[in-house]
């Protein structure tokens, strides 16, 4: 089970969460977000994570391929998460901009079966899907739970992460219900936006058991 903890803003949180067994850490590169961190700070955190086998994912929304590529190179990121209105063609252009081996994750805010159907257009363009809850005014980190009934039988043909309102208390139910490849948590393991509650993160990994210690 892949475990991504998103919205890291402090060195000590990132290092502690990597030590607990996270597969990847997410850094918000959207300036309007309360969890935003600049490229220099991301680089500093990534450098501290070299002793841990953990991915470093930059989260972007509706920005050009060249700026994304610049941040990836300057910060030493291992992947990019697109959380805006990026088209399949944009994903193709981004792939050409990035070095080989950089993961592209496309996030989708799901409120209907039509949104799930739209994911098919991206299957051959990106490496991983992320399904999040829809919010009319926020792109992510809302704490809203995705309607899991929409995901009955969902099989996109690529690895996919479940997000949207996950926390240590409901994560095992979510995994059993929809069987994602991995999970993504942000607000569900926070004390305030960008400040992680390490006790909640520890409880999350206790709930996941041995699966949470794997970093596929």
Q: State the pLDDT at residue 13.
A: 97
Report residue 180: phi and psi, to 5°: -75, 165
CATH architecture of 2-213: Alpha-Beta Barrel (3.20)
So which residues are the catalytic ones?
A: 6, 132
**Segments in the chain below pLDDT 50:** 136-138, 140-141, 210, 212-216
For the chain, domain boundaries: 2-213
- For the chain, helix, strand, coil in percent to 5 are 40, 20, 40
Q: Global pTM?
A: 0.93
Neighbours of 152 (CB within 10 A): 8
Q: State the pLDDT at residue 212.
A: 44
Q: State the pLDDT at residue 27.
A: 98
**DSSP assigned state of 194:** T
């Amino acid at each position: 089970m892949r475990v991504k903890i998103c919205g890291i803003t402090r060195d000590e949180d990132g290092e502690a969460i990597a030590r607990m067994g996270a597969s990847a850490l997410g850094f918000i590169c959207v300036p309007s977000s309360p969890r935003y961190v600049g490229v220099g700070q991301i680089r500093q955190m990534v450098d501290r994570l070299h002793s841990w086998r953990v991915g470093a994912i930059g989260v972007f929304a509706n920005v050009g391929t060249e700026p994304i590529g610049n941040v990836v190179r300057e910060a030493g990121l291992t992947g990019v998460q697109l959380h805006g209105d990026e088209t399949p063609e944009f994903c193709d252009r981004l792939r050409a901009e990035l070095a080989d081996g950089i993961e592209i994750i496309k996030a989708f805010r799901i409120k209907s079966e039509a949104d799930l159907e739209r994911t098919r257009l991206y299957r051959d363009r990106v490496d991983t899907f992320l399904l999040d809850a829809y919010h009319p005014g926020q792109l992510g980190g809302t704490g809203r739970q995705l309607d899991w009934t929409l995901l009955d039988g969902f099989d996109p043909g690529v690895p996919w992460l479940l997000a949207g309102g996950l926390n240590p208390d409901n994560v095992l139910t979510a995994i059993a219900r929809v069987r994602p490849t991995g999970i993504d948590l942000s607000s569900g393991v926070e004390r305030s936006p960008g400040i992680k509650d390490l006790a909640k993160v520890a409880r999350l990994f206790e709930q996941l058991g041995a699966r949470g210690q794997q970093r596929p």
